[in-house]
């Protein structure tokens, strides 16, 4: 019964992407421009900072957010990454993660707030978020290459799409978890809807929003590694190169750098969420 393909969905989707590329290339180039500018600036800026100074800055951030133990770990971890010869790749990865997370926050927080305040909107975007979170990461790469060519920018755009759902969902959850009596009390004192949002709902929802930011950062870090398959640089490059050449040492070294970066970013953002 199912020996022959009846629904040529793959052909339809390929034709759709080709039609979009042929008719809306200028639009996608316009969408690419701000991402490219921010990514290029961050990449050049982070790589221009002397490594010792950058280690000190990151360790200081870890100390202020989590404590002296994490600061010491961060300093030694970053030194270790440098001694492995992965400093430039690490800064590129950090630039890609920061760029992707910046756009995820700009897009995700307003969408999450709207979702938390409007039931119909939340019901409408829920299946979209489900699809975004369950679609395998590799599936995002092909349309990104067709729309934006290969390179870091295409990798960051794929990362934005892949990492966006957590911050939307948790922002919406945080807004919905604010107790109705607190909102009613603010309204009773004459607060407008805007004042209720910015003075009551967002401050009380901030720990949940920051938890969503933490998850977005972790997903972005995992995706920028996969994005190395389409020419994005960073710590994913030695992993992919090691995989292609069966060089286990190179792959392990790249993996260690990714793990250390993930631990540092995770602990800092978790601490920020717990302090709110």
User: How many structural domains does the chain have?
Assistant: 1
Residue pointed to by tokens 């934005």: 160
Q: What distance in Å separates the CA atoms of residue 206 and residue 201, rounded to the nearest whole number?
A: 8
* CATH assignment of the domain containing 144: 1.10.3720.10
In a domain, 1, yes or no: no
In a domain, 191, yes or no: yes
Q: What distance in Å separates the CA atoms of residue 200 and residue 123, rounded to the nearest whole number?
A: 24
Q: Tell me if 237 sits within 8 A of 258, measured CB to CB.
A: no
In a domain, 6, yes or no: no
In a domain, 86, yes or no: yes
Model confidence band, residue 265 (pLDDT cutoffs 50, 70, 90)? confident
Please tell me which residue, 3 or 121, carries the higher pLDDT value: 121
Could you tell me the pTM of the whole model? 0.86
Model confidence band, residue 142 (pLDDT cutoffs 50, 70, 90)? confident
Q: Does the pLDDT at position 189 exceed 90?
A: no
In a domain, 129, yes or no: yes
In a domain, 4, yes or no: no
Structural domain of 173: 14-275
In a domain, 2, yes or no: no
């Amino acid at each position: 019964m199912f020996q022959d393909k009846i629904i040529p969905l793959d052909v339809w989707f390929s034709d759709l992407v080709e039609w979009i590329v042929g008719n809306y290339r200028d639009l996608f180039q316009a969408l690419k421009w701000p991402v490219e500018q921010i990514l290029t600036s961050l990449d050049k800026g982070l790589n221009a900072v002397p490594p010792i100074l950058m280690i000190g800055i990151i360790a200081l951030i870890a100390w202020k957010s989590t404590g002296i133990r994490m600061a010491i770990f961060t300093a030694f971890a970053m030194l270790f990454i440098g001694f492995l010869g992965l400093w430039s790749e690490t800064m590129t990865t950090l630039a890609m993660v920061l760029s992707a997370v910046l756009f995820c926050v700009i897009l995700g927080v307003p969408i999450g707030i709207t979702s938390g305040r409007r039931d119909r909107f939340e019901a409408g975007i829920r299946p979209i978020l489900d699809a975004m979170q369950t679609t395998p990461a590799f599936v995002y790469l092909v349309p990104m290459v067709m729309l934006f060519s290969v390179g870091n920018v295409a990798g960051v755009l794929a990362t934005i799409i892949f990492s966006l759902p957590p911050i939307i969902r948790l922002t919406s959850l945080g807004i919905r978890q604010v107790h109705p009596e607190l909102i009613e009390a603010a309204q009773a004192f004459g607060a407008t809807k805007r004042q209720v949002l910015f003075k009551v709902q967002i401050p009380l929802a901030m720990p949940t929003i920051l938890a969503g930011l933490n998850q977005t950062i972790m997903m972005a870090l995992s995706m920028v590694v996969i994005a190395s398959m389409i020419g994005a640089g960073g710590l994913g490059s030695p992993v992919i190169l090691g995989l292609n050449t069966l060089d286990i040492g190179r792959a392990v070294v790249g993996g260690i750098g990714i793990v250390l970066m993930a631990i540092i970013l995770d602990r800092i953002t978790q601490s920020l969420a717990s302090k709110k």
